Amino acid sequence: MGHKGSKDVSIELNDETIDRLTKNTNYTPEQIRQWHQAFLRDCPTGKLSSRQFTEVYKKFYPEHEAEKYSAQVFRTFDMDSNGYIDFMEFLLAVNINSNGDVRDKLGLAFDLYDMNSNGQIDKKEMTKVITAIYELLGEDNRKGDNSPGNRVKKIMEQLDINDDKNISRDEFVEGCLKDDVLRKLLAPNV
């Protein structure tokens, strides 16, 4: 009884939540219910922890270091920064990855790289991202032009249009749209 009117959709799926997800995703109410059932099978508490998320990521990248990259992805999906991903956060992220247009997907990639959530990516954040991508993909060639530092320098030069030493969301999205090589590096699933 105490769940009536509750905003916690970790376990219960009420009409208000279904309506909100229907309006903000490309899923029908029935598909949302199916996603919810599957989510609860994997996360009976209705909460996906960072540790669980990393374990799932490791299944996709078993030979490589997934911890750093998965931590960044988790932080991005944990929209309210409460330390876990609930069903609503999960489905919104899945929807962008599956159904979002290229700008939405690039925006999600930007959020992934904007570690301090200030709306800008600086050199330090981009270096951490490139290093995490290298580890995730098992990239051993990190010398010369392919070193994270040199790679970041080139990315910053290319994307930082206003030369303020930061990359804004617009600079990131527009730069990736104009350069397929850069897009494939920074947003490979787009």
158-190 confidence digits (pLDDT tens) = 999 999 999 999 999 999 999 888 888 788 777
Q: Is 137 exposed, middle or buried (0-12, 13-18, 19+ CB in 10 A)?
A: middle
| The pLDDT value given to residue 4 | 37
Element (H, E) at 71: helix 67-77
| The pLDDT value given to residue 6 | 39
Indicate the pLDDT class of residue 121, thresholds 50, 70 and 90: very high
User: Which domains can be identified in the chain, with CATH numbers?
Assistant: 13-99 (1.10.238.10), 102-190 (1.10.238.10)
Count of C-beta atoms within a 10 Å radius of residue 45: 11
| The pLDDT value given to residue 173 | 94
| The pLDDT value given to residue 10 | 54
Indicate the pLDDT class of residue 2, thresholds 50, 70 and 90: very low
For the chain, report the end-to-end CA distance as a whole number of angstroms: 44
Q: Name the nearest CA neighbour of 132 among 171, 75, 83.
A: 75
User: What are the pLDDT digits (tens) for 83-116?
Assistant: 999 999 999 888 887 787 889 889 988 988 898 8
User: What are the pLDDT digits (tens) for 20-77?
Assistant: 999 988 899 999 999 999 999 988 999 999 999 888 877 777 767 778 788 888 888 8
User: What are the pLDDT digits (tens) for 140-163?
Assistant: 888 988 899 999 999 999 999 999
Asked if the model's pLDDT at residue 139 lies above 70, the reply is: yes
d(CA 46, CA 41): 9
